[in-house]
Structure 1
Amino acid sequence: MSTSPDLCIIGAGTLGVDLALYARRLGASVVLADRDRPEPGDAAQQALRMASLVQSAKRAQDMRRAPELGVGASEFKLSAKQVAERAARLVENRVRATSPEVLTAQGVTVMRGAVGFVDGRSLLVGDITIKPGKIIIAIGGAPAFPDIPGLGDIDVFSVDSIIENQRKLTHLVIIGSDAAAIEQAQLQRRLGAAVTLVPHGPLLPEFDPEAVSLLLAAFADEGISVRAGAQTVAINRRSQGIGVEIEAEGGVRETLDASHVLVSAGHKVDLDELDIAKARLKPGTNASRTIRPVGIAAGHADWNAARAHGRAEVDALLGRRRSHAVSLVPRLIETEPAIAQIGPLVPRADKARVGDTILRENLAENDRAAAMGNDRGLVKLTLDGKGQVQRASLAGPFAAELAGTVALAMSRRVGIADWADLPLPRPSLFEVFSRLGENYLAARNVSTTGQGGPALRRWLGFRPRG
């Protein structure tokens, strides 16, 4: 075992394992420092478990809506325990694929034990000192909780713990306005709970407001109460149930009778556990030329963004010029309608410039969406003066899959004019792309003759013969 590897990754959660394998594929010698405990807030495992729970809840909702599609309603039994057990099994099966034996077989050295910095170049893993060329910090973070009087007096769910719940909830009050809070609101409602969401600020402020409004309309249809503008001011423990005191805009107070409370306020990382002060980093920073935090430690709670950012940091530390475009990784809200967004976050997006164009296509006009009975949605693009997509917001069925196609087009610099000639089956959700391309060309009164051929063929991977 080398005690001077090219790279040491601290934290053997899913992100740390992914980056270790990625660095090995690049030819680096890698030590994965396993702190011999699960990394809290493992984003990938949470995302997979949530995907399973969401699909189970969707099946239940489909059965409730069956009469709308001409299918007779029938009674069905929903078992919260079986739903949770299925999600847990799915994660367990995936984790086996990255066991220490598998990692070792692929050339990753796994070291277990407490991890701490000795200085800016050395780490103590268990009782062994190593001196890696570069260090990545990929540890998890514990759930954060706001300072609300009485919150510490009750058993409260976090976004980490509620996915393990195996009981049907009666009335769940959710405190939070981020993606995890929104996803849990619809999930728990579909699993049979009454749900009240107290946002504590704007809902999904980094997503397109039009897409968010479509989701809120769906929430209203499903009976999810959203107390926009309200704040939780106190929690009162009772002999039966919980009193959640909220204050609306204008100072009006109301007490909600809850059976359970979920707080979704992000995660906090304790770098002091690593004796980070011994690394002698610049005040106010957790990074240097040889030490880089990733994932939650770098402010990336979303798994897809954390993975892209982590791989970009590996590239940089190993001296590779190629970098992963974190801004092109779709950010996804696992709801129905699902929301996906690509490009700059809305609050950070530049103001519209002269020549920029906004195109939108309503899924209510899409034949496939109408046939699915799921036509509440849109695709909205912001283009520059050359017809290149700068930002995209998608809401509706299969938003993640549609967003992947948009991200590919953006990364390959395929202009919107080329989308008009996409060879698509009909009906298809992907028709929204060809319609957007056609609308763009029509608005500019440009003939489509000869448009899009070379670029479209390059995008689709065609090569000339001969």
Structure 2
Amino acid sequence: MNTIDTDICIIGGGSGGLSVAAGAAQMGARVVLFEADRMGGDCLNSGCVPSKALLAAAKAAHHAHGNPAMGVTGAAPAIDFAAVKRHVADVIATIAPHDSVERFTGLGVQVIEERAAFAGRRLVRSASHEVRAKFFVIATGSRAALPPVPGLDTVPFHTNETIFADAEKPAHLAIIGGGPIGIEMAQAHARLGCKVTVIEAMTILGKDDPDAAAILKDRLVKEGIELVEGIGVAGVSGTTGSIKLDLADGRSITASHLLVAAGRRANIDDLGLEAAGIATRPGGIVTDRRLRTSDKRVFAIGDAAGRAQFTHIAGYHAGIVIRNMLFRLPAKIDESLTPWVTYTDPELAHVGLGESAAAEAWGAGNIRTRTVSLAARPCRGRRTDRGDGESGDTSQRAYFGGDHPRTAGRGDDPRLVGGDRGAAADWQHGRHNRALSDLRRCQQARRRTVLYRGAVQPADKTDRQAVAETLTNPACNRRAISCKSGASMATLP
């Protein structure tokens, strides 16, 4: 058993864990990273990257049909489904080196490709290593949640972790779950020539704005996708090529393939959390707004923290914990303006609270809705056709209410509490240029950063904040910060 003493020990080599590892290592901290499966996690291997590659192929097939309203007549494209899946695999392979063991080893991170778990308070153990550290980060991500459908364990089915590797084209794909994953896969497969049925026990795209979701659902139906909404699956039976789904209303659907896309479940089993005294809750690990667990030197980020399950949120969490660990800044997460996008056609983009959440927070009488049609702005390069000859109903919606805490006392500026990215950008245009401000702070941080005791040391507390912002801000070039590779952070508490 090899014993290692280090500054930071990370469990999980997905988006969040790799962001912490890269940032901390480049700041001179000693970092040990455990990954039991594939580097890059869900985003690279079975999430963001393969899904968007598949959607791109599907969009190419869709556009081949032409648009008669524009005088362009196309024809049904010939689709080589196996070649489509090779394209998906090639995209993954192109990006994989960025998340590879070799790259992170080169950054000074000690990568251990073994499953790890807590063996006690601030002690992590794998098959051949025992690690003690000043800080720990749990970044184990999530996996597909399986609903309690009778017979599901007796039939072959896909999740997002397996569907991208299957080169066989489904004749009829049934999808259990009408959330973002299910709907993205539904449209992609329908455009690639598959019959698709989506079954959702509650509301399809239930977390999205209802008016925006209605536009998308109308498009999906016009593209030939069958949507079964508000009806659950009572049972599943059958074999490969013929899977029968019995619905709660007495109907049945027989499909050649089944995809289960009923949400995600945090990967926090078998981590030895009880041995470490780390509290959990349904959905993830208990954390405060600084992402500290019940042990204040153990952090949980990304899907493991049981909060919004997005890759960019995991990256945001990484910046928060780096500020807390390396700079001793009490950085806290702000979930009030979380952005997310469903990458269908049309896309659904959100920032902040939706209408119902805003009404709950401030009262229905205090909420005003602003709707702006994009159809009147084709000169800005926005596509306003549906692709089937009809004009688009694409619009922007924003909800306002209350006083913005950052502008209190500066007039009656309303707070943007929801809507899509375009509305947010239009509303804030002219007030301030955040990107330029961030860049200036980055440049100041670089000028004031000095080498001290073999590691990056801020000159004072103000500079400590600036360096932290430099590290965690994507607008900054992290490589521009001077740092002695492999040196330890002498000021780690």
CA contact 1:143–1:265 (8 Å) conserved in 2: yes
Q: Distance in 2 between matches of 1:137 and 1:240?
A: 40
| Residue 256 of structure 2 is aligned to residue 259 of structure 1 | yes
Q: CA deviation at 1:54?
A: 0.6
Aligned to 1:429: none
Aligned to 1:74: 75
Q: Distance in 2 between matches of 1:388 and 1:6?
A: 44
Return closer, same or farther for 1:153/1:371 CA change in 2, 3 Å cut-off.
Answer: closer
SS for the counterpart of 1:55 is helix
Q: CA deviation at 1:156?
A: 0.6
| Residue 332 of structure 2 is aligned to residue 332 of structure 1 | no
| Residue 313 of structure 2 is aligned to residue 305 of structure 1 | yes
Could you tell which deviates more after superposition, 380-389 or 252-261? 380-389
Q: CA deviation at 1:90?
A: 1.1
Percent identity of paired positions between Structure 1 and Structure 2: 25
Q: CA deviation at 1:47?
A: 0.3
Deviations 1:405-443 (A, max 9, x none): 666x5xxxxx93x63xxxxxxxxxxxxxxxxxxxxxxxx
Q: Distance in 1 between matches of 2:154 and 2:368?
A: 52
Q: CA deviation at 1:197?
A: 0.9
Matches within 5 A, 1:158-307: 158-237=159-238, 241-247=242-248, 252-282=249-279, 284=281, 287-288=293-294, 289-299=296-306, 300-307=308-315
SS for the counterpart of 1:253 is coil
CA contact 1:40–1:142 (8 Å) conserved in 2: no
| Residue 399 of structure 2 is aligned to residue 382 of structure 1 | yes
Aligned to 1:4: 5
Deviations 1:193-213 (A, max 9, x none): 111111111222222111111
Q: Distance in 2 between matches of 1:86 and 1:242?
A: 28
SS for the counterpart of 1:273 is coil
Q: CA deviation at 1:458?
A: 7.1
- Count of aligned pairs: 408
Return closer, same or farther for 1:377/1:48 CA change in 2, 3 Å cut-off.
Answer: same
Q: Distance in 2 between matches of 1:294 and 1:260?
A: 34
SS for the counterpart of 1:393 is coil
Deviations 1:172-230 (A, max 9, x none): 11111221111111111111111111111122222211111111111111111111111
SS for the counterpart of 2:418 is strand
Deviations 1:378-427 (A, max 9, x none): 11111236344423333xxxxxxxx2x666x5xxxxx93x63xxxxxxxx
Q: Distance in 2 between matches of 1:261 and 1:277?
A: 36
Could you tell which deviates more after superposition, 258-267 or 213-222? 258-267
Q: CA deviation at 1:268?
A: 2.9
Return closer, same or farther for 1:65/1:275 CA change in 2, 3 Å cut-off.
Answer: same
Q: Distance in 1 between matches of 2:272 and 2:318?
A: 22
SS for the counterpart of 2:303 is helix
Q: Distance in 1 between matches of 2:39 and 2:353?
A: 29
Q: Distance in 2 between matches of 1:308 and 1:241?
A: 43
Return closer, same or farther for 1:262/1:337 CA change in 2, 3 Å cut-off.
Answer: same
Q: For 2:395, give the aligned amino acid.
A: L
Return closer, same or farther for 1:89/1:173 CA change in 2, 3 Å cut-off.
Answer: same
Aligned to 2:290: none
Q: For 1:154, give the aligned amino acid.
A: V
Q: CA RMSD in A?
A: 2.9
Q: CA deviation at 1:244?
A: 1.2
Q: Distance in 1 between matches of 2:15 and 2:396?
A: 32
Q: 2:372 aligns with which of 361, 364, 385?
A: 361
Q: For 1:43, give the aligned amino acid.
A: C
Q: Distance in 2 between matches of 1:21 and 1:52?
A: 26
Q: For 1:259, give the aligned amino acid.
A: S
CA contact 1:172–1:262 (8 Å) conserved in 2: yes
Structure 1: runs of 5 or more not aligned:
395-402, 410-414, 420-451
Aligned to 1:412: none
SS for the counterpart of 1:6 is strand
Q: Which has the higher contact order (CA 8 A, sep 6+)?
A: 2
Return closer, same or farther for 1:337/1:324 CA change in 2, 3 Å cut-off.
Answer: same
Q: Distance in 1 between matches of 2:272 and 2:213?
A: 42
Q: CA deviation at 1:347?
A: 5.5
Return closer, same or farther for 1:28/1:194 CA change in 2, 3 Å cut-off.
Answer: same
Q: CA deviation at 1:71?
A: 1.7
Q: Distance in 2 between matches of 1:197 and 1:102?
A: 40
Return closer, same or farther for 1:132/1:348 CA change in 2, 3 Å cut-off.
Answer: farther
Q: For 2:237, give the aligned amino acid.
A: N
Aligned to 2:476: none
CA contact 2:155–2:240 (8 Å) conserved in 1: no
Matches within 5 A, 1:108-187: 108-187=109-188
Q: Distance in 1 between matches of 2:134 and 2:93?
A: 33
TM-score for the superposition, normalised by structure 2 = 0.75
SS for the counterpart of 1:42 is helix
Q: CA deviation at 1:42?
A: 0.9
Q: CA deviation at 1:345?
A: 5.6
Q: For 2:311, give the aligned amino acid.
A: W
Deviations 1:28-51 (A, max 9, x none): 33211232x227961344101111
CA contact 1:31–1:110 (8 Å) conserved in 2: yes
SS for the counterpart of 2:94 is helix
Q: Distance in 1 between matches of 2:193 and 2:303?
A: 32
Q: For 1:9, give the aligned amino acid.
A: I
SS for the counterpart of 1:186 is helix
Q: Distance in 1 between matches of 2:340 and 2:231?
A: 26
TM-score for the superposition, normalised by structure 1 = 0.79
Q: CA deviation at 1:340?
A: 0.9
